[in-house]
Amino acid sequence: MAGHFNLIKYAIVYCAILMRFLSDEARNSKRASFDNEGLLLSSFQESLQMVETALCHTRTERGTLRSPMQLFTFLRQAEPETQEISRAAEVFDTTLYILKDRASRRHKRALVASELLSLEDLALIADLSGCPPPVLPAFCHNDCLANKYRSISGVCNNRQKPFWGTANSALARWLPAEYEDGERQPKGWNHGQLYNGFQLPPVHEVSKKILQSSSRPMLLDAAYCQMLVDWGQYIDHDISFTPQSTSRAAFLGGLDCLKTCENINPCFPIETFPDDKLSGNRSCVPFFRSSPACFSGNAQAATTDIKQVLQRQQMNSITSFLDASTVYGHTPYLQSALRDLSNSEGRLAVNSRFTDRSGRPYLPFVPNTPSPCFQDPGDPQGERVDCFLAGDSRVNEVLTLAALHTLWMREHNRIAEALNSLNPHWSSEIIYQEARKIIGALHRQIITTRDYVPKIIGREAFDLYIGPYGGYDATTEPSASNVFSTAAFRFGHATIPSVLRRLNQSFQEHEHFSSLSLHKTFFSPWRLIKEGGLEPVLRGLLGTPATVVSPENLLTEELTERLVVLTVPGGLDLAALNLQRGRDHGLPGYNDWRTFCGLDRIETRDDFREVVKDASVVGKIMDLFRHPDNIDVWLGGLVEEPLPGSRTGPLFSCLIGKQIKMIRDGDRFWWESEGVFTLGQRVELLRHSLSRVICDNSEVKEAPLDPFRFGKYPDGFLLCDNIPSMNLEYFWVSGENVWCKKIYYFL
């Protein structure tokens, strides 16, 4: 039956394509050097069949989790809308490959796609493939709701550029991509390829020889607590999420990416050592390329350079705005799934099976149960605890993320309840949207820009790259950049400790729930529900000093050898994953980004010693890479000496600062933007803090005024009664002043 359905689908698609080619529009379209429409048609049809076959294999294999990478990928799945766009983009990408291969054989010389296709050809292939997706609106509404509340997908935040910063759009390129074929092949794709006369070192070798800290104790930060580290991961998940390819099999030939060490899209395996514990007896571990972004004529209209247009771009499946998408989602479907629509109180859905000892709710479970999250090994016959459902699918990655997600779900419901009491004339939709607007302002924009970012890049860099708010700027593109999401904001991986401490009310080791090795917190939501709730975890974040980024002591073994190890043999190397992802995305090298930021290029070892004080680290890097222009940007930025009062070096401070400023200035709904909040409301919002949110939504009774500062308990800790909170009475509105008479759901 399924095969019959596919034949019908292919026939319909084929007829639609043929009609398109026979139309006057297609016949009269301007061609560059590509003049065989039949070849384009047959290439597209072959591509469509290849992609569908590979996806069918993937769906068949989905029920069997045979490797850490497969499990890791499965638990970070993108939303259905994203998967459909990804499929269309893969069809587009594979069509280009087939066309190029056929034309090269016909002309008996190597050709690149830019020699074959015009912009009109590309737009036609994209249209046939399903790009751009037809669900996006052609115009922006200018009514009450659209002016007062941001859309869930980010669309129309900028009325002139409605797709800037939206979910399922391309990551921004601040510098052109660098691919081995100029278009889509990542660095390291072709064995023997030389860069400045040398081959690039395999990423796992870089990890083992430079980045892995082994058993050396991590250096502790006397100024900041572990909450600073985990907040960074949490806000990163509000800005970008680059989905991996929707296929686990090669589009050309159908090879299973879990079984091959060949580079064949989307398989881009990581080379390992013969006796490596990650790979067993194999010479590689699987790695899937990121899904390409859909080609869009609107998105590429800024340039007529077809070579640049043809470069493979990667997708950001969530909104780039600091809009609390981790709480509310980024698609209408997910937004609806996260809401409690059974009443008129504007609340978020909660878990129907479990609460903590005080009756406080947990996040709901995912609907597709039983889910693959780990269960309590000490109680195999006990009640299942499935994966949590939240606005971001990475909620279950580590226990601390699950705790923070739960905290903000509770805060939304607390605020919604208060608004409902203050404004009983409000509809459920208004209560929800107003609570969402408040959470967005607190959760990301105030706590992040006021309390977090200055500690990360330093006050001097904050003033230089971000500065005071000057109002909404419609010419500023807020889209997350590829280098920010793939390299700069991954600096935090070097500050993740090997142990999650769980503390009691006196901020000492918990007598019932001991501290955990980091790998025991991966995909284990059962530990929140069965092992004391949020409080031991939150106290551990507040009462434990953060680790310090140090060139000689970077990533713990928990991340380079034990990432996702429970129930599945082997593990993953996070450092190698980061480096391979940067090469997959075609990120230019470390020196090019230093030039972009106005910093001096590194030409010699002595130059490198000016920014990396540890001579042994400089020596290891130069011995491996052989030329400073070959150094991967994530590695180079990570080992730089931090600026005074910061946790990042000059390069990452620049890239992070520029990105945060663009997100702030290019957001029409930024909390300080005129008309978003009243002056009185803004004053009250500034009184609130993450510590206050913890106090209001857990049984933690004491916290630091600044939740990111470390003090050995009880130094610096205040009773919750002494921590300021906002007065929600400033959000009372008289019954006569109803802003939006027509309430409906919108994107």
Whether the Cβ atoms of residue 578 and residue 490 lie closer than 8 Å to each other: yes
Residues 6+ apart with CB under 8 A from 684: 726, 727, 728, 730
Per DSSP bridges, beta strands 315-316 and 717-719 are unpaired
Residue 199's alpha-carbon distances to 20, 178, 187, 212, in angstroms, are 46, 15, 10, 22
SS3 711: coil
The per-residue DSSP string of 558-604 comes to: HHHT-BS-TTSSS-B-HHHHHHHHHHHTTPPPHHHHHHHTTPPP--S
Whether the Cβ atoms of residue 228 and residue 541 lie closer than 8 Å to each other: no
Which phi and psi angles does 481 have, rounded to 5°?
Answer: -85, 155
CB hemisphere CA count around 210 (13 angstroms): 30
Six-digit token string for 697: 């939504």
SS3 245: coil
Give the bridge partners for 718, in sequence order. Answer: 703
Six-digit token string for 62: 């989905």
Dihedral sign, CA of 586, 591, 594, 596? Answer: negative
Catalytic residue (one of 237, 330, 585, 688): 237
Six-digit token string for 161: 């550029």
Residues 6+ apart with CB under 8 A from 744: 145, 429
- What's the farthest any 2 CA atoms get from each other in the chain? 78
Say how far residue 7 (Cα) sits from the centre of its chain.
37
Q: What whole-number distance in Å separates Cα of residue 235 and Cα of residue 255?
A: 37
CB hemisphere CA count around 457 (13 angstroms): 28
Whether the Cβ atoms of residue 580 and residue 673 lie closer than 8 Å to each other: no
Sheet strands (E) in 36-176: 169-170
Residue 490's alpha-carbon distances to 287, 500, 554, 579, in angstroms, are 18, 19, 12, 11
Burial of 714 (0-12, 13-18, 19+ CB in 10 A): exposed
Residues 6+ apart with CB under 8 A from 262: 250, 255, 269
Of 202, 64, 97, which Cα lies nearest the Cα of 583? Answer: 202
Q: What whole-number distance in Å separates Cα of residue 430 and Cα of residue 345?
A: 9
Dihedral sign, CA of 151, 152, 157, 163? Answer: negative
In eight-state DSSP terms, residue 291 is P
Q: Apex CA 641: angle with CA 542 and CA 622, to 5°? A: 130
Gyration radius of the chain's alpha carbons? 26
Of 737, 717, 295, which Cα lies nearest the Cα of 539? Answer: 717
The per-residue DSSP string of 278-340 comes to: TTTTSSEE--BPBPBPPP-TTGGGG---HHHHTS--BEE-S-SSSS-HHHH-SSHHHHHHHB-
Consecutive H or E run containing 139: none
Rounded to the nearest 5 percent, the helix, strand and coil shares of the chain are 45, 5, 50
Do you find a cis peptide bond into 714, omega within 30 degrees of 0?
Answer: yes
User: For this structure, is 237 an active site residue?
Assistant: yes
- Tell me the CA end-to-end span of the chain in Å, nearest whole number: 35
Burial of 342 (0-12, 13-18, 19+ CB in 10 A): exposed
Residue 493 annotated as lining a ligand binding site: yes
Measured from the Cβ of residue 135, the count of other Cβ atoms closer than 10 Å reads 14
- Show binding-site residues for heme b: 493
Q: So which residues are the catalytic ones?
A: 237
- Show binding-site residues: 493
